[in-house]
Structure 1
């Protein structure tokens, strides 16, 4: 029986990183290992796991910026205690300056956020971003092993000077039972419940609206262009929340784009995707892209930026769905129009891809992750 310490922001099912840590903790617990988790919050599922201990790191005023130094301090405290007993310590990016395993889900140096807000907020966010960059550089240089969530992320690490021999790639898993091609009756029930007509093309966007990284501004421009032509009858379903959500709602209302439905943050994404026809994700930076994988597993063609980590998982038959430039709204509009005219034939390409991706579930990910870690002895460099 081994001992592990996981240091992460949150553990649960809300985001890819949260879900990945829950899956790793579940796997280790089932193996009989002792698992310690330092996090701001932990789901009931985590707390119910045998041999698992949560050490809370408070997040003052709910602020990530204020909570980050607390997470680092609490994480290093437990790392000192547990590493003396031979524990493996898994940190994430620059969230805790400890030199064992670094699970890299995001590289801040690979993307500089762009905020629309005026006043002191953009200035404060830039300062926070610069702090993340400094912590990240230190953490990456100290790590014995870095596990990247895609080859794109691995390349970003190499550009920062991390030796290739210290990097392994392990993709995130998937809940194959939830994200699967729906039956005809399931699909019809969702569409009827949402008021989507049977023949209407329904396109989903899933992502936070806190800044422009996910590319919703490009989606909005493309959608407006399609409607200006007067022949587009689609519905755009936006699942996600964030500081810019109210502004986008108002802009769509003022622009007469009633075909855009802003649903906010949803816990039933799998159910809603079952009633959709495609997904758009012209992201400016995406280390992986779990939402895209979920759409593919559901049987939806997913338009995503070629530079996103998940794009490397697209087989040749789906590469026409890759977007060359996340800024090019016109190209996205043309891609959507072309897809709508042949959507049934495009959809027929998806079942084989869905089946392949759904085999690599969260347990598969956890097994690969642990295998990588255990191949590197404590105190050694791979």
Structure 2
């Protein structure tokens, strides 16, 4: 279940009113509330392309009942075409996926994208109010759908300051020791799926290969995430002699500990409506190198503009940014600390309250 949707649903449930959740699945934690009703929608063959029509039909049925009873309805993107609020976390019209697997998967990705794009346009044009998770997303929505700008409002994603707390030197040492990481070597972290090119790992891999050819480069890379291309990248690392410099950790549930132990997060993403992983790294208190086009980059102050990549395709630029961080990263830490404090103050509850306030207004 999307983390932002979970946060909104949990906040609403704690307010005591009736909450209906129409979805393929929801977090188990929500089912403990007696005022929450989960309407489960099947997803045939575990395929979103097959499940979307069912989600739309069941969603429209319950949306009509909820609106008739005086309630509020919030849909996500093209999931459900209703004359209510639509909260957008990803704009299909802003990015076409680039699968790198076999031709059949590429064909499936192309067909799915075209279907999702049409559904997105219909749903957003019918929505009475649209909420975007960044100004980047808002501009993408306006360009992709042509809806009136007065209908689209920005509410930034929140965070969990208890889970992603500012890390002290002592906690950092403990985290590194528990992971078996050397106290002497620096570690950069990449967090993202390895199934297509959206997260930009191909650019990072090429940059890392260049840097590791230099004896003075003393930073290791840990890769958190999985996907169809993981084995391909692991094989490429072995073939280029980088298996000791790039470690593939797979799917992990201890991301807060990994962030606390790392020195830097690198995210040369080609499309990111917001960038929750970057947000969480900053909350922990480590610098995050991210593409300027990512929504979260809007929150970087002038003092941290050196952490923003102009072009996620430019390997040479990424190399220069990484070298700059290694040489003068300490100069960015006061700005990182200030932004970290600001982001930790904007909790998931604050976000949920802001969403509801906007809808009620």
Q: TM-score, normalization: structure 1?
A: 0.91
Corresponding residue number in structure 1 for 2:44: 60
Q: Residue 100 of structure 2 contacts residue 195 of structure 2 at CA under 8 Å; is this kept in 1?
A: no
Corresponding residue number in structure 2 for 1:316: 302
CA shift at 1:345, angstroms? 2.9
SS of corresponding position for 1:94: helix
> 2:50 aligned with 1:79, yes or no?
no
CA shift at 1:65, angstroms? 1.8
Corresponding residue number in structure 1 for 2:106: 122
> Which deviates more from structure 2 when the two are superposed, residues 321-330 or residues 24-33?
24-33
Corresponding residue number in structure 2 for 1:88: 72
CA shift at 1:299, angstroms? 0.7
Corresponding residue number in structure 2 for 1:28: 12
The 2-side partners of 1:119 and 1:152 are apart by: 32
Corresponding residue number in structure 2 for 1:380: none
Gapped runs of 5+ residues in structure 1?
1-9, 11-17, 376-382
Q: What does 1:122-141 align with in structure 2 at a 5 Å threshold?
A: 122-141=106-125
The 2-side partners of 1:266 and 1:68 are apart by: 28
The 2-side partners of 1:37 and 1:243 are apart by: 31
CA shift at 1:342, angstroms? 2.2
The 2-side partners of 1:34 and 1:340 are apart by: 52
> Which deviates more from structure 2 when the two are superposed, residues 269-278 or residues 68-77?
68-77
> 2:198 aligned with 1:213, yes or no?
yes
SS of corresponding position for 1:353: helix
The 1-side partners of 2:205 and 2:180 are apart by: 21
The 2-side partners of 1:182 and 1:127 are apart by: 44
> Which deviates more from structure 2 when the two are superposed, residues 103-112 or residues 30-39?
30-39
The 2-side partners of 1:340 and 1:199 are apart by: 14
Corresponding residue number in structure 2 for 1:369: 355
> 2:311 aligned with 1:325, yes or no?
yes
Q: Residue 90 of structure 1 contacts residue 100 of structure 1 at CA under 8 Å; is this kept in 2?
A: yes
Q: Residue 203 of structure 2 contacts residue 315 of structure 2 at CA under 8 Å; is this kept in 1?
A: yes
Q: Residue 71 of structure 1 contacts residue 96 of structure 1 at CA under 8 Å; is this kept in 2?
A: yes
Corresponding residue number in structure 1 for 2:343: 357
CA shift at 1:75, angstroms? 1.1
Q: Residue 201 of structure 1 contacts residue 340 of structure 1 at CA under 8 Å; is this kept in 2?
A: no
- Which of 111, 135, 138 is 2:95 aligned to? 111
Moved over 6 A (4+): none
The 1-side partners of 2:11 and 2:179 are apart by: 37
Q: Encode CA deviations 1:357-381: one digit per residue, 9 max, x unaligned.
A: 1000000000100000011xxxxxx
Identify the structure with the greater helix proportion: 2
SS of corresponding position for 1:131: helix
The 1-side partners of 2:333 and 2:206 are apart by: 25
The 2-side partners of 1:363 and 1:50 are apart by: 20
> Which deviates more from structure 2 when the two are superposed, residues 171-180 or residues 24-33?
24-33
> 2:176 aligned with 1:191, yes or no?
yes
> 2:167 aligned with 1:182, yes or no?
yes
SS of corresponding position for 1:326: coil
Gapped runs of 5+ residues in structure 2?
none
The 2-side partners of 1:351 and 1:44 are apart by: 34
Q: Encode CA deviations 1:290-336: one digit per residue, 9 max, x unaligned.
A: 11010111111111111111110001111110000000111111111
> Which deviates more from structure 2 when the two are superposed, residues 42-51 or residues 309-318?
42-51
CA shift at 1:347, angstroms? 2.5
CA shift at 1:348, angstroms? 3.5
- Which of 181, 203, 216 is 1:231 aligned to? 216
CA shift at 1:83, angstroms? 2.0
Corresponding residue number in structure 2 for 1:49: 33
- Which of 69, 88, 91 is 2:53 aligned to? 69
Q: TM-score, normalization: structure 2?
A: 0.97
Aligned length: 359
SS of corresponding position for 1:304: strand
Corresponding residue number in structure 1 for 2:284: 298
